[in-house]
Structure 1
Amino acid sequence: MARRGARRAARGDPVHRRGDGIRPTPDREGLLLQRDPRGSCGGRCSAGLQGRTCLAKIHSGFFRLSEDLDFSIPTAPDSTRGDRSRAIAPVETIVATLTERIPGLEMLVPLEGHNASTQYNATLGYRSLLASRTEPIAIEIGLRKPTLTPPERAQVNTVLLHWVQGDALLETFPVRCLTYAEAMAEKLRAALSRHEVAIRDFFDIDHAVRVAGFDVGGAELVRILRAKLAVPGTGAVNVSPERLDDLRHQLDAQLRPVLRPREFDLFDVNRAFRIVRGVAEGLG
């Protein structure tokens, strides 16, 4: 097995460290970003990383796997469909040519708009030497709302390790993204008001508080969160016991597969829910 792993490394196929408890597939999104760090915008658009991609790969250190890349383009509340179509045009060109510029990628689902051009989705495929199937990389670009803090450029991270040497395989590089405060405000907004509650939101919040010492009561965060909850179409704040029950039912099916065993064992859904409920109470 060791010799087979060495041959994989010699062929350049990156893998996670053995024993991490995660299915041994490449860090697909990190690989895509590393191979095209500036091509993802090239200065021609204002798309930036957001959501769990922004938190996991930039602000909080890489702690949870995902199969997608979340971007947003700042959009005025009164923007028209034509405004959004013009804003996405440079991105459409970039996504359409990714498979030409990055070896090993294939286009599974071309980029297309949904919900009156407020969301665009595409799916790329990456065939790893470690698996006999094509693994997906989902790309989502939202054009729904403005950003409330100036975007920043920050270093992206990856857990991709060299099979033989054991050190990081990919160089880090800066990407455009939401600030930590706004990314966390987005995560809290989702935890508080998402129609279908998602355990990943609560894990990300708990990790930020427990490991990174993030202050969910900070004045800037509360200001941004209030503004996001006031956006038309946002669901009502919900921290009911029924919501907690729904979260408990998601633990094994939706959270365990994307975490290392130790990280899963350290997570306490009741503690995470108390954090979010405390934020709701602080909002008044």
Structure 2
Amino acid sequence: MKTFFDQLNSIVKPQRSDIVEKDYHLHRLLYHISQDEFLKNNVVFKGGTCLVKAYLGYYRFSEDIDFTWKDTRIWKGKSNSQTRKTCSKLTDTIIQRFDLISNKLGLDFTSDKSDLSFVEMGSGGRMLRLFLRYHSEMLDVSSVIKIEINFVDKTMFPFKHISLQSLIETVENKETAFLFPEEWEEYKKHVSFDCYTPQEIFTDKARAAMTRFSYKFRDIIDICMLEQKYGFTISQYEKEIRKKTRFVLELYKRYVDNIKSVDMPDFETIPERERNLLLFKPKPDFFNKIKLVHDQLRDLQMDLVDSN
């Protein structure tokens, strides 16, 4: 496989072999999830990887796979104990499905819920994290793909069924296809999912930037890229951002603690390595736009803290 990834790295950008290898495994995994009747009918794709693969292309690399449970109406009117019980049953089925998929793909995974290195429950049973492992041929280390499924969430916009991109989506290379026919065909397979809309991801990212336990500069980058492509603004979607933020503040105590105790840092103090997440050379005014978004969210965060 290393020879295959070396070959791919010579024909695609950003010519980062570690990224090419990870994207190959992400694409294979997403394809098999999309072919599983139970999973494809019950989850909706969201987050940074969805943003890259469904809407904006590879302006940065995102390696986690995030889903929300599609029909959140099933939680309405349920007590916390009833919700946990239902989530536990769903979790058992989901783990079984991913165990089957992992076996097909040769990924390291166990269906043992007690093994926290592979299965983790959070948010009072409302969130499931799975960790699928493989040996990286390019880095010669164990690599992880994290899958997160949020059972309870607030969505504001209808989902869209979208075809997902890979790094070789628009690449045609007869030599690689001839030398590695099986791997090339697998990486070229069509993958599609029900996805969050750009508006949903935009408002989710704004909420996340203000309520994470630790500040993630990538949230601001994603927001700014969405503004740049779609013309969104924080003020335009402030109502939806407030609703999403209040929803998690009412549901989870940790978010109340986070929004009160974790300040969004001054832009100038953000480490250079975090500013270099982009896979392309930005225009000179790009970081000025990011600073503006950053400052707008700081103001909104402070207002939410004062009113909470």
The answer to whether the aligner puts 1:83 opposite 2:104 as a matched pair is no
Judging changes above 3 Å, is the alpha-carbon distance between structure 1 residues 267 and 163 closer, same or farther for their aligned structure 2 residues? farther
Report which of the two has the higher share of helix.
2
Q: Distance in 2 between matches of 1:175 and 1:131?
A: 30
Report how far residue 12 of structure 1 moved: 9.7
> Is contact 1:206-1:275 (8 Å) kept?
no
Change (3 A) 1:136 1:224: same
Q: Structure 2 length normalisation: TM-score? A: 0.71
Q: What amino acid maps onto 1:90 in structure 2?
A: T
Please report how far the alpha carbon of residue 138 of structure 1 lies from its aligned counterpart in structure 2 after TM superposition: 1.0
Q: Tell me, yes or no, if structure 1 residue 59 matches structure 2 residue 55.
A: yes
Distance 1:132 1:40 in 2: 34
Task: Identify if the C-alpha distance between structure 1 residues 14 and 116 changes in structure 2 by more than 3 Å, giving closer, same or farther.
Answer: farther
Which amino acid counterpart does residue 56 of structure 1 have in structure 2? V
Q: Unpaired segments of 5 or more residues in structure 2?
A: 111-116, 178-183
Alignment correspondent of 2:293: 272
Q: 2:30 aligns with which of 29, 33, 53?
A: 33
- TM (norm. structure 1) is 0.76
* Aligned-pair CA distance for 1:186: 0.6
Unaligned runs of 5+ in 1: none
Task: Summarize deviations over 1:176-217 as a string: whole Å, max 9, x none.
Answer: 222222121111111233342210110101111124433444
Q: Show the counterpart of 1:254.
A: 274
Q: Distance in 1 between matches of 2:259 and 2:118?
A: 36
Structure 2 residue corresponding to 1:148, chosen from 147, 156, 176: 156
Match of 2:113 in 1: none
> Matched residue pairs, number?
272
Q: 1:84, CA displacement in angstroms?
A: 1.7
Q: CA separation of 1:203/1:270 partners in 2, compared to 1, >3 Å: closer, same or farther?
A: same
Q: Which amino acid aligns with 1:20?
A: P
**Structure 1 pair 96–119 and aligned structure 2 pair: CA distance change class (3 A):** same
Amino acid at match of 1:174: S
SS of the residue 2:244 aligns to: helix
Letter in 2 for 1:8: T
Residue in structure 1 matched with residue 109 of structure 2 by the alignment: 107
Structure 1 residue aligned with 2:194, among 170, 173, 176?
A: 176
Aligned to 2:42: 46
Distance in 2, Cα, partners of 1:154 & 1:58: 6
- Percent pairwise identity: 20
Give per-residue Cα distances to partners, 1:38-67, cap 9 Å, x unaligned: 228445x52221221222221322322122
Question: How far is the alpha carbon of 1:141 from its aligned partner?
Answer: 1.3
2:242 to 223, 226, 230: 226
